[in-house]
Amino acid sequence: MSEQDARINYTGSYEAEDVLRWSINTFSPSIKIACSFQNLVVVHMALQIDPDITIFAIDTGRLHEETYQCAEDLQRKLGVKIEWFFPKHEAVEPLEREKGLFSFKESVENRQECCHIRKVEPLKRALSDLDAWITGVRREQSTSRAGAGKIEVDHVHGGIVKINPIADWSWDRVQDYVREYDLPYNHLFDRGFLSVGCAPCTRPARAGEEPRAGRWWWEQAEHKECGLHNRNWNI
């Protein structure tokens, strides 16, 4: 077990609030929350523990207008600032010039290339100086996330700790929390979306489909990750 792995010595309750409190107390100030504006449950919970915790987001340059509006609503209602990260123009410009604006639909490899430029590389910079990060990943979102732990070692990002406090929550439980605290939310969910990413790569889910079925709907389910949440060791 590495030195970083040894820091995971959690013996408390696995309720979301308890996991969050432990992670913030253990790793602060070297911990941040990743927000994709799917929901603001984790952000709201964390702010009750540490009003000064940093919230970061990735602007891929192709987000929905409703996602940007949710970000504005979050800042206005909860009084927080968002630390934005962006793809490097020296990577985006040649991609679009050489392969066009929709190369990601031509193959899984092309789509992963686009995701790497617009999401994965900015995330790497966002996490570069951290000991831990917090996400809103939930197991029921897709088969690729079914094994997500509430506390993981993120070997993809140098062995830092990854916290998924609502990994075991259902969509209905998320919505109950949003209503209880009157939180801002992404209004794409009013239009049948169950998962939100870049505008060209996301559509409403159909009846009976899993939540992430509307992401990259032209691909097989096992490929539907952009690289932000590849599997890690968990406890």
Encode 54-91: b = buried (16+ Cβ within 10 Å), e = exposed.
bbbbbbbebbbebbeebbebbeeebebebeebebeeee
Cβ-contact 65, 204 below 8 angstroms: no
SS (H, E, C) the chain: CCHHHHCCCCCCCCCHHHHHHHHHHHHCCCEEEECCCCCCHHHHHHHHHCCCCEEEEECCCCECHHHHHHHHHHHHHHCCCEEEECCCHHHHHHHHHHHCCCHHHCCHHHHHHHHHHHHHHHHHHHHCCCCEEECCCCHHHCHHHCCCCCEEEEHHHCCEEEECCCCCCCHHHHHHHHHHCCCCCCHHHHHCCCCCCEHHHECCCCCCCCHHHHECCCCCHHHCCCCCCCCCEEC
Report yes or no: 80 and 55 within 8 Å, Cβ to Cβ: yes
Which residues carry out catalysis?
A: 226
